[in-house]
A = this chain, B = another copy of it.
Amino acid sequence: MNFSEQAAENLRRIQENKPLIHNITNFVVMNYTANVLLAAGASPVMAHAENEVEEMVGFAGALVLNIGTLSDAWLASMITAGKEATRRGTPIVLDPVGSGATRLRTDAAKAILAQTRVRIVRGNASEILSLGDADAQTKGVDSAHGVDQAAAGAADLARSLDTTLAITGPIDLVTDGRRIIRVANGHPLMPFVTGTGCSASTLVGAFAAVDDDPVSAAATALAFFGLAGEKAGAASSGPGSFMIALLDALYLISPDELEAGCRISDES
């Protein structure tokens, strides 16, 4: 099965099985990412209490950890949930929001990577590079490095972290250290809506819940999200109407339409 066929198959499985995706995520995007999952056919749950997360993750098809609006208590819950997910073999997706910008965020991302088995990390180039290189700098949560500059080091970093990296930007890059995949779907209005990166991460979680190959799960999820962005962009006049049209598009795109619209290329 090529990536386009796999994308269609993954979306079909999500719509049929409605996997429960457990998110421990930031306050800014909770509502939007829950709506993104629902529109795509998955079942979101947000739960962060340290005395609940182990039980909750037991029902989940994937665990998504997002370190925006972080605090020590939330980090502790993420690691508790992540350890239980690791024990169960449940896929974990990490979104290292703002890693590289502050010590709290950088240390948190590294602690999660060290103490749990993260299957996929989804971030922008600065955030991803900060996981390996203490000198990388992030301006807030925006990317200061382009995807192309990141590509060189990304495969090395994926191998050294023993995970799959999904670096989003105008062209997305997915690598497990051996394969290098690029996803060209997307729309320039995406960075003007808060939580589009976080939404990409939670969709990667939904795709990882139905696809055991992390490279294919991440690439097909990003193609789906990017295609929805293209469809939304064609129907929008600004970022407000775009964010709403994006939810509609995630709901309306059929597996066949995704197969036809996917722009994934394998460079490995």
Contact = CB atoms under 8 A, between A and B. Distances in A.
A46 interface: yes
Interface string A184-214: 0000000111110000000000000000000
Contacts of A104: 49, 51-52, 55
Interface in A40-89: 43-49, 51-52, 55-56, 59, 68-72
A44 B49 CA distance: 26
Interface of A: 20, 26-32, 34-35, 38-39, 43-49, 51-52, 55-56, 59, 68-72, 98, 101-105, 139-142, 191-195, 236-241, 243-252
Nearest to A28: B30
Given A59-B139, A238-B249, A247-B238, A26 B46 contact: yes
Contacts of A192: 38-39, 251
User: Oligomeric state, in number of copies?
Assistant: 3
Given A45-B140, A238-B251, A194 B31 contact: yes
A38 B193 contact: yes
B140 A59 contact: yes
Given A72-B49, A102-B56, A247 B251 contact: no
Nearest to A23: B28
B46 A27 contact: yes
B102 A47 contact: yes
A98 to B, nearest CB: 7
A20 B240 contact: no
A197 to B, nearest CB: 12
A27 B35 CA distance: 14
Given A31-B31, A44-B140, 18 more contacts: A20-B140, A27-B27, A29-B31, A30-B31, A31-B32, A34-B194, A38-B192, A39-B192, A45-B98, A45-B141, A47-B70, A49-B71, A51-B72, A52-B102, A56-B101, A59-B140, A237-B252, A239-B251
Nearest to A75: B49
A51 B252 CA distance: 43
A193 B35 contact: yes
